[in-house]
Amino acid sequence: MIQQTNPIFGRLDWSVTPYTDLLNKVTSSTIVGAGAATVLVVGAIGAVALLTWMRWWKPLFRDWLTSADAKKIGIMYIVLALVMMARGIIEGFVMRAHQATALGTLAAPESGLVAPDHFAQLFSTHGTIMIFFVAMPLLIGLINFVLPQQLGARDMAFPVLNQVSLGMTAAGAGLIMISLLVGQFGTGGWTMYPPYTGIEYSPGEGVDYWLWAIMISGIGSTLTGMNFAVTIFKKRAPGMHFMRMPLFCWTSLCVAIMLIYAMPALTVSSTMLLLDRYAGFHFFTNAAGGNMMNYANIFWMFGHPEVYILVLPAFGVFSEISSTFSGKKLYGYTSLVIASMSISVISFTVWLHHFFTMGSSVPVNIAFGIATMVIGIPTGVKIYDWMATMWRGRIRVTTPIVYLVGFFMLFVIGGLSGIILANPSIDYQVHNSTFLVAHFHNVIIPGVLFGMLAGIHYWFPKAFGFRLSETWGRLTAYLFIGGFLCTFMPLYVLGLMGMPRRSPTFQNPDFMPWMYIAAFGGVLMLAALTSLTWTFWTSWRNRERLAVPGGDPWNGATLEWSSPAPVPEWNFPHIPVVTARDDWGATKRGGDPWRGPDEYVDIEMPANTYFGVTLAGAAFLLGFAMTWHIWWLSIVSLFTIVAALFWRGLQVVEPVIVPAEEVERADKQYRDRIASLTPVRRVEEETEHNRGVPDITEFAG
């Protein structure tokens, strides 16, 4: 098929929107497609209208988009992730609804809510979004927000680079979003294996959308990894030795290392596929000696470390909350550090288990199978450490603890099914079935999603100055746990009954009961999403009553709880001198933790800049133009990127100075405020009395 390429519009024309499809043929599938596009358009128009109506454009740019403050960048990452998560969960629901109606017959094999091709786009976008634009931004956002504060630093090592990373991620997410409205997304799943995704079998724009989104956001993630690593190595407060760092910092360090070494593999595999598609190369075609399995090989060299990139920050969060909410010191700190580090190295040695069925010879499969089982050991160690931390503690069943307990029970099941799959001969039976789908959701949802939501709940007061509603928070957690059980446990059964993953249809009526349970699970997941949204809304409305100006609502032990909530831009009026692990806890035990510093000094903060926004916009246009073969626009946007880099490089960038008087005023005000608030005991933690000043006599951690 030779497509005409218009010099101005590339391959764009009026036939690419889902509305044209709807006009051509009205089916449930085209209605769903057009409906999704409409939600996007209405959402975008609504957002623009709201910003204009509330006159928020200027604050948006001044306070947020041009800010180089790691905390704000972190929050923006998380907002992006939550928006994308809404789309991902809704897509998950649509897929479940589809499969619940997809029982075909031999006479009419196809049936269900959406057309097969549409279903393929759904699982491809869902997978891509959930991994790259939900899980990744959630964890990167959380680390950005928490890491400098826990290390006793004011910001990341490279604040502006951080802004660029966010911009790249947002540009990639934008490409995925626009594919709802303009053209189609790829149908090759989140892994986009060739040869199916080669130019011969997927000539359209879909795979290119994926490639550009992944390449652009991948650059962002690589840069983030470097930023985190340098921050941890260079910006620790004086006295903060490695073995005094909170565990979340340790897992951040692991994540940073893994990002640095794993992301390039993804960039390489995507670039090779890109060259195959755009420039007639033969890396992954049989013609001219290419080898398509090398794509799987390189992709999973990234892909497996990636899943540990996703889960390690959650492990960090669980380490923090298990200790804080049981009022005990973290059990087995050193073993947790060693376990995290081992995981991050071993995770580079297991990638072949994702394609056991490629047909390697026995020694290869065995070696990777054993490596896979070995990685279960450090993970198991961690679970025991957290349980030991909680053992005999005075546990408060707050939202994070609900997530943590849900994680304990569900993640272990998911881990066990992983160990089962690590056996090549078993994997041969169930690979590519919904058993696998159940397995990875079983580790990703309780691991990553629960961990990140728990983390958001835990640190939210630090960011915005008020707590989230515990009642709604817990309800959300229960709904996610129940929704998970109903959606994915049936998939284990279906997989063992022989149902392949990614099936748009099936002809076995025995599947149906399980399908209905799973669809009901999808409804629960939607309810959880709604409840999550409501948690934010209702907490915002009650922000006066939930306010915790004292800044330490949970009687925490790490440095970030020593500052007011919301935390000022400079984090600490005076960089703390760390004398112990869990330094804030040690200060509390020493009595009078809220004593102000003796002197105040001017503070240098990075100045706002439009650099990140410019690069993001140009990168988005570059991706879009390349996808649609609009060459002139590609050249213009590429040129813009290069020019912006030069421009920035040639400038002398002055930091903003916050004068000592201003710091002193704000800090004195905070200290006075603390003195006027009544300390709250833990039993009253969830009540209005919690103003963020805990009763330090109760501190035992």
Partner 1 sequence: MTKPNTGEVNPKDTAAHEIRSYATGFVISLILTIAAFAAVLSDLSPTLKILIICIAALLQVTTHLRNFLHLSFSGNQSREDLLLVLFSASLLSIMAGGTIWILSDLHGRMHGDQAAHAEPAEHSHNRAPED
Q: Which residues contribute to the site for partner 1 (CB under 8 A)?
A: 233-234, 236, 238, 241-242, 257, 261, 265, 286, 289, 291, 293-294, 297-298, 301, 345, 348-349, 351-352, 358-362, 364
Q: Say how many C-beta atoms besides its own lie within 10 A of residue 611's C-beta.
A: 21
Tell me the Cα Rg of the chain.
25
Q: Give the phi and the psi of residue 590 in degrees, each rounded to 5.
A: -75, -10
Q: Say how many C-beta atoms besides its own lie within 10 A of residue 534's C-beta.
A: 14
294 contact choice in ligand HEM, partner 1, none (CB below 5 to 8 Å, kind-dependent): partner 1
126 contact choice in ligand HEM, partner 1, none (CB below 5 to 8 Å, kind-dependent): ligand HEM
Tell me: does residue 473 bind ligand HEM (CB under 6 A): no
The residue (of 364 and 523) whose beta carbon lies closer to partner 1 is: 364
The residue (of 176 and 296) whose beta carbon lies closer to partner 1 is: 296
- Using the rule CB under 6 A, which residue among 421, 449, 477, 548 binds ligand HEM? 449
238 contact choice in ligand HEM, partner 1, none (CB below 5 to 8 Å, kind-dependent): partner 1
211 contact choice in ligand HEM, partner 1, none (CB below 5 to 8 Å, kind-dependent): none
Per-residue binding string, ligand HEM, 542-561, x by CB under 6 A, is: --------------------
Q: Are 228 and 284 in contact (CB under 8 A)?
A: no
What are the b/e assignments for 585-594, b being 16+ CB within 10 Å? bebbbeeebb
Closest approach, Cβ 291 to partner 1, in A, equals 7
Closest approach, Cβ 289 to partner 1, in A, equals 5
Could you say which residues in the range 125-164 bind ligand HEM, by CB under 6 A? Answer: 126-127, 130-131, 134-135
- Using the rule CB under 6 A, which residue among 337, 445, 494, 559 binds ligand HEM? 445
65 contact choice in ligand HEM, partner 1, none (CB below 5 to 8 Å, kind-dependent): none
Closest approach, Cβ 440 to ligand HEM, in A, equals 7
Closest approach, Cβ 443 to ligand HEM, in A, equals 10
Q: Say how many C-beta atoms besides its own lie within 10 A of residue 695's C-beta.
A: 13
**CA–CA separation, 97 vs 92, rounded Å?**
9
The residue (of 32 and 257) whose beta carbon lies closer to partner 1 is: 257
Q: How buried is residue 662: exposed, middle or buried, by Cβ count under 10 Å (0-12/13-18/19+)?
A: middle
111 contact choice in ligand HEM, partner 1, none (CB below 5 to 8 Å, kind-dependent): none
Per-residue binding string, ligand HEM, 83-102, x by CB under 6 A, is: ------x--xx-xx------
The residue (of 386 and 435) whose beta carbon lies closer to ligand HEM is: 435
Token readout for 388 is: 């030991």
Measuring CA to CA, which residue among 383, 381, 254, 248 is closest to residue 321? 248
The residue (of 22 and 84) whose beta carbon lies closer to ligand HEM is: 84
Beta bridge partners of 433: 500
Sole residue written with tokens 């915790």 = 548
Closest approach, Cβ 144 to partner 1, in A, equals 22
Closest approach, Cβ 292 to partner 1, in A, equals 11
Vertex 153 angle, CA 150 and 158, to 5°: 115
The residue (of 131 and 337) whose beta carbon lies closer to ligand HEM is: 131
**Backbone CA torsion sign across 449, 45, 73, 60:** negative
Helix (H), strand (E) at residue 73: helix 70-100
- Using the rule CB under 6 A, which residue among 32, 100, 298, 444 binds ligand HEM? 444
- Using the rule CB under 6 A, which residue among 224, 372, 434, 558 binds ligand HEM? 434
**Backbone CA torsion sign across 500, 506, 510, 516:** positive
Closest approach, Cβ 596 to partner 1, in A, equals 24
Closest approach, Cβ 128 to ligand HEM, in A, equals 8
Token readout for 134 is: 């939900």
The residue (of 191 and 555) whose beta carbon lies closer to ligand HEM is: 191
96 contact choice in ligand HEM, partner 1, none (CB below 5 to 8 Å, kind-dependent): ligand HEM
242 contact choice in partner 1, ligand HEM, none (CB below 5 to 8 Å, kind-dependent): partner 1
Closest approach, Cβ 506 to ligand HEM, in A, equals 10
**CA–CA separation, 45 vs 626, rounded Å?**
26
Instruction: With contacts defined by CB under 6 A, name the span among 61-69, 121-129, 256-264, 632-640 that binds ligand HEM.
Output: 121-129
**Backbone CA torsion sign across 287, 291, 296, 300:** negative
Per-residue binding string, ligand HEM, 164-203, x by CB under 6 A, is: -------------------------xx-------------
**CA–CA separation, 386 vs 322, rounded Å?**
6
What are the b/e assignments for 468-485, b being 16+ CB within 10 Å? bbbebbbbbbbbbbbbbb
C-alpha distance from residue 295 to each of 273, 298, 322, 346 (Å)? 8, 5, 40, 21
Closest approach, Cβ 528 to partner 1, in A, equals 38
Closest approach, Cβ 277 to ligand HEM, in A, equals 19
DSSP state of 698: G
For the chain, first and last CA: distance in Å?
67
487 contact choice in ligand HEM, partner 1, none (CB below 5 to 8 Å, kind-dependent): ligand HEM
Closest approach, Cβ 600 to ligand HEM, in A, equals 44
Q: Are 62 and 51 in contact (CB under 8 A)?
A: no
The residue (of 61 and 440) whose beta carbon lies closer to ligand HEM is: 440
**CA–CA separation, 612 vs 528, rounded Å?**
34
DSSP state of 7: T
What are the b/e assignments for 239-271, b being 16+ CB within 10 Å? ebeeebbbbbbbbbbbbbbbbbbbbbbbbebbe
- Using the rule CB under 6 A, which residue among 441, 457, 588, 691 binds ligand HEM? 441
Per-residue binding string, ligand HEM, 489-528, x by CB under 6 A, is: ------------xx-------------------x--x---
Helices (H) and strands (E) counted in the chain, each on its own, are: 23, 2
Report residue 383 CA to chain centroid gap.
Answer: 22
Vertex 376 angle, CA 370 and 377, to 5°: 100
**CA–CA separation, 250 vs 248, rounded Å?**
5
Which residues here bind ligand HEM, judged by CB under 6 A?
89, 92-93, 95-96, 123-124, 126-127, 130-131, 134-135, 189-190, 434, 437, 441, 444-445, 448-449, 487, 501-502, 522, 525
